[in-house]
Structure 1
Amino acid sequence: MALDPQAQALLAMIYRVGAPRFHELDTHQARRSFEKLQGTFGPEARAVSSVTEVPIPATHAKDGVIMARLYRPLSAGPDDILPVAFYFHGGGWCIGDVASYDGLCRELAHLGGVAVLSVDYRLAPEHPFPTAVEDALRAVTWSLANAVLLGIDPSRFALAGDSAGGTLSAVTALQLRNANGPQAALQLLIYPCTDILSQRPSRREFASGYFLDTESLAWFFERYLPNQDDWQDWRASPINAGRFDGLPPATFILAECDPLTDDGKAYAALLGEAGVPVTVHEFEGMVHGFFSLGKYFPQAVKAVERAGGALRAALLG
């Protein structure tokens, strides 16, 4: 499993200049570092027909609102009712935000030909598990109930996200199934974390020197899940859900040199065994986080194109 030369060059630069890794930073510093990374190497902000800030009332009034950003593709007319992809950003449930993913969500709206609702779920450690899970489900159910207001079709939606956001997408699909709620047309799961306590080979093989080090994983897990009894909760580790039938079709985008890649494959296998249609795209030589860095990785451009194509096929037929 050879690291791609472009990825190798980026990592060599990071380690050569002694840039601190996530576990060496406090929460504020880690968030700023992630914003800089996305701002430097994220895709350009493609034109769309409209961008609307959407305040979603939280489940409990005392918690205020969950902010989201709705993108409509340039191809859409002002009165068109569009399918929608809910997007949950990555960042270990602790860092990342809607602004950092602006370019990526614009690209997905363009390539998919659908509306994209990017959700600014609340972050740990200020808001530990299960806040992000609750916010993700609330954003979906409220938006579908208020589809007329948003100009979206509640019968055609997808759940999408990368890393921690991929986990939230998978967990939201499970919650909707368990509640006999509306079913998504697609789960678009980009290198999701599916098993917090995994001991699969990729966790050891890519434990150090591949961007998402073991220490950084622990940094995120400990902040998101301060109660270690929650580490095996299926809402944190969806591989523990017990049953996987009746879930939406799933498209996985994985990075070969990623400590989470075997966990993603294991979850894909469980879905397939339960009769869920599954497609897996593994990008050779790529590291965790590549998907949102299209200005640096040509493979990211291809991966986003495949993601957009999957959304288009699932939601527009």
Structure 2
Amino acid sequence: MTLEAEASLVIAQLNALDRPTFQDVGPDRARKGFEELPPGGLEVDVASTEDRTIPGPDGNDIAVRIYRPGDGALTADHSGVLGCLVYFHGGGWVVGSIETHDLTCRSLTMLAGVVTVSVDYRLAPEHPFPAGPNDCCATTQWVINNAAELGVDSRRVAIGGDSAGGNLAAAVALMCRDAAANDDACGQPALQVLIYPVTDYDRDTHSMIANAEGYLLTRATMEWFDDLYCPPSERKNPYAAPLAVDDPSGAAPALVIVAGHDPLRDEGVDYAKKLAESQVPTTLIEYPGQFHGFFGMTRFLDQAIEAQELTAHALRRALAPAK
């Protein structure tokens, strides 16, 4: 299928900028350039935001931003306690931050009626695998353990992310499942939202080759991210490559969103199939005419608005208060 009309226009405009690639400029300049990109999302007001730091797993501090939806939120129970989304930003584990994904988190907070906790996990290459998933898992458990303070229900906490953030969400779902087998006190997420996730390090899939260039994320950039984040010796570790897990049964129910013109399309579909075959309740949604990164571009793409609304619907269902 060809690119959807609005997507084609966005891709043409982005390609016309002829910006240097991340691998051409290196991590520091890549981060700065990513932060300076004009916002692709619509402005959404939330009731409040709070920036704070929480303790990390290695004596580090983790910065988080907490978004609140205000009165009448759709996941509120009779006493006002809410569901929660813990969100991990994309950026190949190398770039991206709370700031680059602020508009997406604002939108999901209000559409789903949840408290959203956005996580500034440690980035590669300074902090390669497993720093990222360790930070994200620690934050998820912190939210569950401090649910009363946050005004959320510890049984109604979802995790999610896009691209590398989707990889981290899938990893955290497996980490929580595995930890619970040895520790009854380990909380479990109620849903994992995987938006065009990285699930493997095979850069010779059909979608990787077919969409190697021209659709925002390239095969070469993905290989650069891989090399900075994960050493070859760890690329079959399920917490780095969730598709490598032998049996994902018992992991949180999943919503997986993929784009047709995305190098990562096939590995997202393959992971959704593996989850479903292992009896994990899984919904797979594909946007055949979209590209990697479309989810946050609500300013330009009607299908981005639709995808966020579908995600919010899944969150509301998974995090609805008990009747």
TM-score (norm. length: structure 2): 0.92
CA deviation profile, 1:167-225 (whole Å, cap 9, x unmatched): 11111010111111322211111000001125321111111111111111011111112
Indicate whether 1:173 and 2:173 are aligned: yes
Q: What residue identity is the alignment partner of 2:256?
A: F
Match among 66, 74, 96 for residue 70 of structure 1: 66
Indicate whether 1:243 and 2:247 are aligned: yes
Indicate whether 1:285 and 2:284 are aligned: no
> What is the Cα deviation at residue 309 of structure 1?
0.9
Match among 294, 301, 311 for residue 315 of structure 2: 311
Query: Contact 1:161–1:169 at 8 Å: present in 2 too?
Result: yes
For residue 83 of structure 2, what is the aligned residue in structure 1? Answer: 83
Indicate whether 1:42 and 2:41 are aligned: yes
In the alignment, the residues of structure 1 paired with residue 99 and residue 136 of structure 2 have an alpha-carbon distance, to the nearest angstrom, of 17
For residue 226 of structure 2, what is the aligned residue in structure 1? Answer: 221
For residue 57 of structure 2, what is the aligned residue in structure 1? Answer: 59
Q: What residue identity is the alignment partner of 1:221?
A: D
CA deviation profile, 1:71-105 (whole Å, cap 9, x unmatched): 11133589832111110000000111111111111
Change (3 A) 1:87 1:204: same
Q: What residue identity is the alignment partner of 2:207?
A: S
> What is the Cα deviation at residue 49 of structure 1?
1.8
Q: What residue identity is the alignment partner of 1:223?
A: L
Change (3 A) 1:263 1:148: same
In the alignment, the residues of structure 2 paired with residue 231 and residue 129 of structure 1 have an alpha-carbon distance, to the nearest angstrom, of 10
Change (3 A) 1:234 1:198: farther
SS at match of 2:303: helix
For residue 160 of structure 1, what is the aligned residue in structure 2? Answer: 160
Q: What residue identity is the alignment partner of 2:198?
A: C
In the alignment, the residues of structure 2 paired with residue 212 and residue 304 of structure 1 have an alpha-carbon distance, to the nearest angstrom, of 20
Indicate whether 1:18 and 2:18 are aligned: yes
Query: Contact 1:194–1:238 at 8 Å: present in 2 too?
Result: yes
In the alignment, the residues of structure 2 paired with residue 105 and residue 17 of structure 1 have an alpha-carbon distance, to the nearest angstrom, of 27
Indicate whether 1:205 and 2:210 are aligned: yes
Deviates more, 1:165-174 or 1:294-303: 294-303
> What is the Cα deviation at residue 50 of structure 1?
1.8
> What is the Cα deviation at residue 17 of structure 1?
3.7
In the alignment, the residues of structure 1 paired with residue 154 and residue 320 of structure 2 have an alpha-carbon distance, to the nearest angstrom, of 13
Q: What residue identity is the alignment partner of 2:235?
A: W
For residue 103 of structure 2, what is the aligned residue in structure 1? Answer: 103
SS at match of 1:188: strand
Query: Contact 2:203–2:223 at 8 Å: present in 1 too?
Result: no
Q: What residue identity is the alignment partner of 2:63?
A: M
CA deviation profile, 1:227-284 (whole Å, cap 9, x unmatched): 2212222111101111111111111111111011110110000011011111111112
Q: What residue identity is the alignment partner of 2:56?
A: A
Q: What residue identity is the alignment partner of 1:42?
A: G
CA RMSD between the two structures: 1.7
Change (3 A) 1:113 1:127: same
Deviates more, 1:67-76 or 1:101-110: 67-76
CA deviation profile, 1:107-162 (whole Å, cap 9, x unmatched): 10111111111111011111111100110011011221122222221111111100
Identity %: 40
For residue 256 of structure 1, what is the aligned residue in structure 2? Answer: 260
CA deviation profile, 1:33-82 (whole Å, cap 9, x unmatched): 22233x431221x2222211231111232x2x101111111335898321
> What is the Cα deviation at residue 313 of structure 1?
0.9
For residue 183 of structure 2, what is the aligned residue in structure 1? Answer: none
For residue 117 of structure 1, what is the aligned residue in structure 2? Answer: 117
In the alignment, the residues of structure 2 paired with residue 42 and residue 21 of structure 1 have an alpha-carbon distance, to the nearest angstrom, of 22
CA deviation profile, 1:9-35 (whole Å, cap 9, x unmatched): 333333334221222222122112222
SS at match of 2:154: strand
Indicate whether 1:188 and 2:193 are aligned: yes
Q: What residue identity is the alignment partner of 2:32?
A: R
Q: Name stretches of at least 5 consecutive residues in structure 2 with no aligned partner.
A: 181-185
Change (3 A) 1:276 1:172: same
Bigger share in helix: 1
